[in-house]
């Protein structure tokens, strides 16, 4: 919609509230609401003020005044509010310079799309993320000077198979997915069919096309809902909306959803495998009928850029300490820095369901849904474009089960770093490719690294772990 169409729509549909959504730097959705009396074409252009110093990763208190500029093309009716509410994503602007704010994640994504066009390599990138999540019946956690614990529960969790009653007080009916056996079982094992269908229908209310949904590998309600590919900015918006919808539908069901990468020990974690391709003048630049797996030289160089920069990219695409509980061998986790056709043990897989030119793409399996999608997609695009610009060769494909290699063979395969601290060091050393076209700024990267170290790495590093008591209390 245009601003004029938005104003006409709210009058025709009896909309009472306008809700503006954006994300802080780490990627949590924020919002500001206003009555429709405050909505006009002039105000939509001028923006709506807020305190940037209260948003994580934004302004200092002495420069806190910021503006939200609604994007009318993202306008949809929000189904979760009692009063009729129209929601829109907004970009953040500095009121003094009237420039879009360099630390606003959505602005970074828009700049990445602009850089792709300016580079002359392509004019459009398409993205298809596969978000995984868990839905639990309850969660408790706490940490203080003399205790620390978490406790999650799910009636679908196999650990409840021995209980006399289900969590709702009814009889224990027995059917539960075993650890690592939750992929595709039909009801009554899968108890979340209606839940996922409701999420799917609400996504469609936001104009987001869903291709499929299903139970995932882990026990305890792990799921995946796959959205149809779209452009970078529209897909990043859709990721934020999927998180928003899943969490709010879960709350309506009396449950709680999490996109945390690894909430359950010794079962599969939640990833965000991300399909991507480059296009120009309506043609897929990744397709070559004569190439390996029907891949063009452009695609192979794009893969080379992703593989080269993965250690640094991980700082944005797997950006939590918990991400590295998932990125370990043995849980279908993409720890091997290689590419291959059809091979889910490689960090880059070339899907081969179809052989048409428009279906040729790569699937980058390293990201997880704890990331800020605006920053993650922008960073992946910039790494791939760096590979194309510098003709970075990806090496030979590895068309075998990488988990079955001998120790000697495995030692020859590069793997992802094993901690958030390590990938932040890699990002510190390797980020020039992100600065092209002023897509990322040095200020944003420095702020990101400083925030992650002070607010996440150090607090986790300094606290005793419960398992340390098991290991060391009797020393």
Q: According to the model, what pLDDT value does residue 333 have?
A: 78
Q: For residues 446-468, give the mean pLDDT.
A: 96
Asked whether residue 402 falls in the same domain as residue 328, the answer is yes
Tokens, residue 91 = 């970009």
* Token pair 């003020």 in the structure block, residue: 49
Annotated catalytic, 103?
no
Q: For residues 43-61, give the mean pLDDT.
A: 93
Asked whether residue 315 falls in the same domain as residue 262, the answer is yes
Annotated catalytic, 430?
no
Which 3 state secondary structure label does DSSP give 274?
A: strand
Annotated catalytic, 344?
yes
Asked whether residue 418 falls in the same domain as residue 450, the answer is yes
Give Cα 412 distance to the centre of its chain. 30
Three-point CA angle 408, 414, 417, nearest 5°: 120
| Upstream peptide bond of 173 is cis (omega within 30 degrees of 0) | no
Asked whether residue 67 falls in the same domain as residue 211, the answer is no
Annotated catalytic, 51?
yes
Asked whether residue 229 falls in the same domain as residue 355, the answer is yes
Q: According to the model, what pLDDT value does residue 361 have?
A: 97
* 173 assigned to some structural domain: no
CATH number of the domain encompassing residue 205 = 3.30.590.10
* 117 assigned to some structural domain: no
Q: According to the model, what pLDDT value does residue 354 have?
A: 85
Q: Lowest mean pLDDT of 94-98, 199-203, 235-239, 448-452, name the range.
A: 94-98
d(CA 172, CA 168): 10
Which among 216, 267, 288, 368 is annotated as catalytic? 216
Asked whether residue 254 falls in the same domain as residue 211, the answer is yes
- For residue 396, give every residue at least 6 positions away whose Cβ sits within 8 Å of its Cβ, in sequence order, or none: none
Annotated catalytic, 429?
no
Q: According to the model, what pLDDT value does residue 401 have?
A: 73
Annotated catalytic, 237?
no
Annotated catalytic, 363?
yes
Q: According to the model, what pLDDT value does residue 63 have?
A: 83
Q: For residues 347-368, give the mean pLDDT.
A: 93
Q: Are 420 and 457 in contact (CB under 8 A)?
A: yes
* 392 assigned to some structural domain: yes
Closest C-alpha to 216, from 263, 255, 179, 253: 179
Element (H, E) at 218: none
Give Cα 281 distance to the centre of its chain. 28
Rg (CA), the chain: 23
Q: Residue 62: pLDDT band by 50, 70, 90 thresholds?
A: confident
Q: Which domain holds residue 40?
A: 3-100
Annotated catalytic, 224?
yes
Tokens, residue 248 = 């709010």
Which 3 state secondary structure label does DSSP give 59?
A: coil
Q: Does pLDDT of 321 surpass 80?
A: yes
* 107 assigned to some structural domain: no
Q: For residues 38-54, give the mean pLDDT.
A: 94
Tell me the whole-structure pTM to 2 decimals: 0.96
Which among 104, 113, 130, 456 is annotated as catalytic? 130
Asked whether residue 67 falls in the same domain as residue 132, the answer is no
Segment 209-229, tens digit of pLDDT: 999 999 999 999 999 999 999
Which 3 state secondary structure label does DSSP give 93?
A: strand
Q: Does pLDDT of 23 surpass 90?
A: yes
Asked whether residue 258 falls in the same domain as residue 370, the answer is yes
* 292 assigned to some structural domain: yes
d(CA 145, CA 129): 39
* 152 assigned to some structural domain: no
Q: Does pLDDT of 309 surpass 90?
A: yes
* 154 assigned to some structural domain: no
Percent of the chain with pLDDT over 70: 100
Q: Residue 406: pLDDT band by 50, 70, 90 thresholds?
A: confident
Which among 176, 273, 275, 349 is annotated as catalytic? 273
> How many beta carbons lie within 10 A of that of residue 214, not counting itself?
16
Q: For residues 172-178, give the mean pLDDT.
A: 94
Q: Residue 105: pLDDT band by 50, 70, 90 thresholds?
A: very high
d(CA 309, CA 327): 17
Question: What does the buried/exposed string (b/e) look like for 102-120 if buried means 16 or more CB atoms within 10 Å of the residue's CB?
Answer: bbbbbbbbbbbbebbeeee
Chain-wide mean pLDDT for the chain? Answer: 95
Which among 214, 325, 344, 453 is annotated as catalytic? 344
Q: Lowest mean pLDDT of 56-65, 186-195, 205-214, 313-322, name the range.
A: 56-65
* Token pair 């075998």 in the structure block, residue: 400
Annotated catalytic, 408?
no
Which among 78, 363, 368, 386 is annotated as catalytic? 363
- For residue 375, give every residue at least 6 positions away whose Cβ sits within 8 Å of its Cβ, in sequence order, or none: 27, 105, 108, 109, 316, 448
CATH number of the domain encompassing residue 10 = 3.10.20.70
Question: What total of structural domains would you count in the chain?
Answer: 2
Element (H, E) at 135: strand 124-136
Which among 4, 51, 401, 450 is annotated as catalytic? 51
Tokens, residue 438 = 């002023």
Three-point CA angle 267, 202, 217, nearest 5°: 15
Which among 267, 365, 368, 431 is annotated as catalytic? 365
Q: Are 288 and 296 in contact (CB under 8 A)?
A: yes
Tokens, residue 314 = 């991980």
Which among 132, 155, 190, 226 is annotated as catalytic? 132
Q: Does pLDDT of 398 surpass 90?
A: no
Segment 149-159, tens digit of pLDDT: 999 999 999 99
Which among 113, 137, 190, 224 is annotated as catalytic? 224
* 421 assigned to some structural domain: yes
Asked whether residue 324 falls in the same domain as residue 216, the answer is yes
Q: According to the model, what pLDDT value does residue 183 have?
A: 95
Q: Does pLDDT of 111 surpass 90?
A: yes
Q: According to the model, what pLDDT value does residue 153 have?
A: 97
Asked whether residue 337 falls in the same domain as residue 241, the answer is yes
Asked whether residue 217 falls in the same domain as residue 93, the answer is no
Q: According to the model, what pLDDT value does residue 198 have?
A: 98
CA dihedral for 458, 460, 466, 468, sign (positive or negative): negative
CA distances to 23, 88, 103 from 453, rounded to whole Å, are: 20, 32, 18
Asked whether residue 67 falls in the same domain as residue 135, the answer is no
d(CA 411, CA 7): 61
Percent of the chain with pLDDT over 90: 90
> How many beta carbons lie within 10 A of that of residue 440, not counting itself?
24
């Amino acid at each position: 919609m245009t601003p004029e169409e938005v104003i006409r729509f709210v009058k025709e549909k009896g909309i009472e509230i306008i809700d503006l959504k954006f994300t802080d730097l780490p990627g949590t959705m924020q919002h500001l609401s206003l009555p429709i009396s405050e909505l006009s074409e002039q105000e939509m252009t001028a923006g709506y003020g807020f305190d940037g110093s209260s948003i994580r990763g934004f302004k200092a208190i002495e420069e806190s005044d910021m503006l939200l500029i609604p994007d009318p093309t993202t306008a949809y009716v929000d189904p979760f509010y009692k009063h009729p509410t129209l929601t829109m994503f907004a970009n953040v602007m500095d009121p003094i310079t009237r420039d879009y704010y360099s630390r606003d994640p959505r602005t970074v994504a828009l700049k990445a799309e602009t850089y792709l066009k300016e580079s002359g390599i392509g004019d459009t990138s398409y993205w298809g993320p596969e978000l995984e999540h868990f839905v639990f019946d309850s969660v408790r956690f706490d940490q203080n000077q003399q205790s620390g614990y978490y406790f999650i529960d799910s009636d679908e969790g196999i650990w409840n198979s021995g209980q006399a009653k289900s969590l709702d007080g009814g009889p224990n009916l027995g059917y539960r997915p075993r650890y690592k056996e939750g992929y595709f079982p039909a009801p009554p094992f899968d108890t979340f069919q209606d839940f996922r269908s409701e999420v799917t229908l609400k996504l469609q209310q936001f104009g987001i096309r869903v291709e499929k949904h299903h139970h995932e590998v882990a026990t305890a309600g792990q799921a995946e809902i796959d959205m149809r590919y779209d452009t970078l900015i529209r897909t990043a918006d859709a990721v934020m909306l999927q998180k928003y919808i899943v969490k709010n539908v879960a709350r309506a069901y009396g449950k709680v959803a999490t996109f945390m990468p690894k909430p359950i020990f010794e079962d599969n974690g939640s990833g965000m495998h991300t399909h991507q391709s480059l296009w120009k003048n309506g043609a897929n630049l990744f397709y070559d009928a004569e190439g390996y797996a029907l891949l063009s030289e452009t695609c192979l160089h794009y893969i080379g850029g992703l593989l080269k920069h993965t250690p640094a990219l991980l700082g944005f695409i797997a950006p939590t300490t918990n991400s590295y509980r998932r990125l370990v061998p043995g849980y279908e986790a993409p720890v091997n820095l290689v590419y291959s056709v059809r091979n889910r043990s490689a960090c880059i897989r070339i899907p081969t369901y179809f052989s048409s030119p428009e279906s040729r793409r790569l699937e980058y399996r390293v990201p997880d849904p704890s990331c800020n999608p605006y920053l993650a997609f922008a960073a992946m695009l910039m790494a791939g474009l760096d590979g194309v610009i510098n003709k970075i060769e990806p090496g030979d494909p590895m068309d075998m089960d990488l988990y079955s290699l001998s120790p000697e063979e495995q030692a020859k395969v590069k793997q992802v770093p094993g901690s958030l601290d390590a990938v932040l060091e890699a990002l510190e050393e390797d980020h020039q490719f992100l600065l092209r076209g002023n897509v990322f700024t040095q200020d944003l990267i420095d702020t990101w690294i400083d925030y992650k170290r002070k607010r996440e790495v150090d607090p986790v590093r300094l606290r005793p772990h419960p398992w340390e008591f098991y290991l060391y209390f009797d020393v």
